A = this chain, B = another copy of it.
Amino acid sequence: MSIGYSEQRLDATAKVTGRSRFTSDLIMPGTRIARYLRSKIAHGRITDIDTSAAKALPGVEAVFTFEDIPRTPFATAGHAYSLDPKGRDVEDRLLLTDYVRYHGDEIAIVVATDHLIAEQVLGLIKVTYDEYPPLLNHQQAMAEQAPLLHQQTSNKVAEHQYQLGNPDEAMHQADTTVSGNFQTQMVQHCHLENQIAMAYMDDTDHIVITSSTQIPHICRRIVAQALSWEMSRIRVVKPTVGGGFGNKQDVVLEPMVAFLTWKLGGIPVMIDLDREESMVSTRIRHPISVDIECGVNRDGTLKALTLDVVSNTGAYASHGHSIAKAAGSKLPPLYPKTAMRYKAMTHYSNLPAAGAMRGYGSPQIVFAVESIMEEAAHKIGMDSVEFRLRNVAQKGDMNPLTDKHITSCGIRECLIKGRERIGWDKKKEDYRHSNTPSENPSYNKRRGLGVACFSYGNGTYPAGVEIAGTRMVLNQDGRITVQVGATEIGQGSDTAIAQMAAEHLGVPFSAVHVVSAQDTDVTPFDPGSFASRQTYVISKPVSEAARELRQKILCYAAEMLNCPVSELTLRDGTVVTEAAESQTLTLKELAMDAYYHKQRGHQLTADVSRKTTTNASSFGCTFVEVEVDIELCQTTILNIINVHDAGKIINPVLAEGQVHGGIAMGLSGAMGEELLVNSETGTIYNNNLLDYKIATMPDMPDIGSDFVETTEPTSAYGAKSVGEPPLLSVAPAIRNAILDATGVAINRLPMSPKALFNAFREAHLIQEAN
C-alpha cells in the first residue's frame, strides 16, 4: 500500500547533493559547439550576409545561414500530432530565417571546436539589414497597412469563440453588471537549466539527440518533419531535466543540432543556450488583454459572463491560439450554470515568441475572471467567498462545453476549508475597523483579504489525443523495473508512478525502479510532460500493466508450487496463499526460477499502451492576506494558502511541493516579474536574472497548502492534476486582497511597487511628489 503516503522522491538525494546528471554532464568526447548568430533588430529583412571571414577562422567547422537549410516549414509546439489538419500547430518556422521577426531571431549558426571560438566567430559575420518598424502590440500588428510577418493574409494567427446559453439576454436580465479590462505581462519560465541539446549519428545513420526536453517523443516527430527524415530514424533521449514549466514543451534546439550533425558527417554537435538567449529566444508567456463583463443578480447568482481575449504570440506561432483556446475551456466547469461567451484571437507581433507556460493561458484568464468576480461581489454587497459558493460547480453538474458530467468536484469544500484556515470571517471584521483611519493609528499600513478560484484540466483530450504507455519487468532480485514515456522533469512524476505501480502489483514502494530517462527507441510512447496530464493519463496503463504482471507472477508461482492460482495472492512482495496468509515464495525466489530454471519460465514482463478518452476537472482556490504599505507602495503577503481538489492525493509531500512551487511562481509573476520591452526598437531590456525581478527565497512568505480529497472515477487511482493548478488563482487573490485593503483595483500585472505607486497616486492615496 503506497498510494497516499509521502514516499521520498526517487531522486531526492541526487538532487540535494548536486549529483544529478543533466544533458551537459553527458556530452560525448569531441563534441562540437554550435552557437546562433541572432538578429540585432526586431523587424526587417537581411539583404546581405558575409560569412567568409568567419569560415576562415581556425577552429571553425562550419557556418550555415538561411541559404543552407531545408525549406520545410515546421511547428515547434509540443503537441501530439493530429490526424485532422485543422488540429495541427501552425508551421511557420524554418531552421534559420532571412526575415527577422524579433530582436534575437536566428539568422545563422556557427560550429566550432569550443565555446570561445564559437563566440569569437559570431563577431566576424557581417549582416546588412533592411530594417522595418517593429509591430509590438495588437494595434500595431493588426493595423490595416501593417506588413505581414508570415505568409498569411493578416497578422492574425487564429480566432475562435464559444457561447453557452444566451449570454446577451442573461446579461440584459441580470440585476447589475460589472466590466473591466485586464492585462497580463510577458514573463519567462526561468527554469534553472537552460535549453541544451546534443546530436550525433549512430552506426545505422540514425540521428541520436540528447536534450533537456519535456517531450521526447514529440521532439522526434518534429525533428523528422523539419529535416524531412523518417521519424524512426530520429532517436531522442531525455536525461534528468532541470525544469521546464512548458518552455521545454517547444522543440527549439533539437531540429538544428540534428541538422548540424547530419551535415557534418555524424559528429556530435551541441547547442547550449546561455541565460540571455534562454530568456528571449526560447518562449515566453503570452501577454493577454481581456475585456470582460459579468452580470449578477442581487441574490448572488452569476447570470452571465463574456470575455473578449486578445493574445499576443510574438514572432512565431509556437502554441499559438491553443493557449487562449485552452484557457477558455477551463471556465465552464467552474461556473457551469452561467451563460457565457468566450471570444479570443491571437496575433503575431515582433515580440519574442510566446509558448506554453505553466497554466497555459489560464493564469491570464483567471486573473480577469476572478477579478471581475470580486467586483461583482462588491457591487451586490456580498461576501466574495459566499458569492463564489453560490455559483461554483458541484459533482454531477454538466460541463456545458463538453456535455459531460463533472465526475468529481470539491471546490465548495475547498472554499469553505480555505475560509476557515485563513480566519476569513474574523479578519474581515477586524480589518473593516483597522482600515478606517479613525480606528487605526497606523492606517498607512492596511490589511486585506482576497480569494480566487479556478478549474483546470487533466491532459488535452478532446482537443488532442491522449495516450500513455508503460512496460514493467520483474528482475532477478524481485524488484520491478518500470519504463514510462511520461517524463520526469522535476515535478516528481517518477515517484508517483512508482507508488501507483507498487500499489497494484502488491510490492513495496522500494521494490520499484522507474527508468527516469526516456529514449524514443525503447520507451513506451507518451507525448510527455504538459497539460498536467501525466498522473491522470498514465494511471490506466500503469494500473493495467501492474495487474497483468501481478497475474503473470501468480500464474508462475502456481506452476512452481503446483497449486491453483486462485489460492495465491501477492502481498508486500511475497506470494502468499489467500487462505492461510502463509508465506510461500518471495518474489526473488520466483524470479530466479523464472530466469534460470532450465526447462520452464521466461522473463516476466507487461507492456501496456492505452488512450484516455476522458478529461476530469481539478479545482482549487487561493486565499491571501496582505498588508499594503501605502506610502512605500509595498505589499507584504501575510498569509497565503491554496486549497486543492486534486482528487486522491498520491503523495502528500510531493503534492504540497507542487503547491509551494506554484504559489511561488504565481506570486512572483503577480508581484514583480516582467520582460520589459523598448517600445521603439522591440529590444528586451532585462534579458538576465539580475534585471529580471524573479522572486527568490527571501521574497517568499510561509506558504500554506491543503487538500480536499475527492475520488475521480475516470482516473485509475482517483487522482487529478496538481502540476499547473497551484499558480492559477494566486495573482487575482492577491489583487483582490490589495483591493480589499486599499480600495484600489490593480488590473494589470505585475502589481509591482511602481504599478501601485501609479494606481495609488491616481486614487489620491498618495500625493504627487513635488
Contacts and interface: CB of A to CB of B under 8 A. Distances in A.
A467 B80 CA distance: 37
Contacts of A10: 203-204
Interface SS of chain A: loop
Contacts of A28: 21, 25-27
A469 interface: yes
Contacts of A469: 602-603
Contacts of A26: 28-29
A81 interface: yes
A483 interface: yes
Given A599-B611, A607-B471, A611-B600, A203 B14 contact: yes
Interface string A221-238: 100100000111100000
Interface in A225-283: 230-233, 240, 265-266
B479 A232 contact: yes
A758 to B, nearest CB: 47
Interface string A519-544: 10111110000000000000000000
Interface in A111-154: none
A481 interface: yes
A67 interface: no
Nearest to A24: B29
A42 B595 CA distance: 39
Contacts of A461: 598
Contacts of A97: none
A201 B19 contact: yes
A597 B467 CA distance: 10
Given A83-B597, A232-B513, A522-B522, A266 B19 contact: yes
A15 interface: yes
Nearest to A19: B266
A230 B477 contact: yes
A609 B516 CA distance: 24
Interface in A415-470: 461-462, 464-465, 467, 469
A612 to B, nearest CB: 10
Interface string A1-38: 00000000011011100011100111111100000000
Interface in A465-491: 465, 467, 469, 471, 475-477, 479, 481, 483
A463 B231 CA distance: 44
B598 A465 contact: yes
B231 A476 contact: yes
B21 A200 contact: yes
Contacts of A27: 28-29
Interface in A151-165: none
Interface in A583-605: 592-593, 595-605
A203 B15 contact: yes
Contacts of A52: none
A173 interface: no
Given A10-B204, A221-B476, 16 more contacts: A11-B204, A14-B205, A83-B598, A231-B475, A232-B481, A461-B598, A465-B595, A465-B596, A467-B603, A519-B522, A522-B522, A598-B611, A598-B613, A599-B611, A599-B613, A607-B607
8 tightest CB-CB pairs across the interface, nearest first?
A14-B203, A232-B475, A603-B609, A602-B609, A525-B603, A11-B203, A232-B479, A231-B477
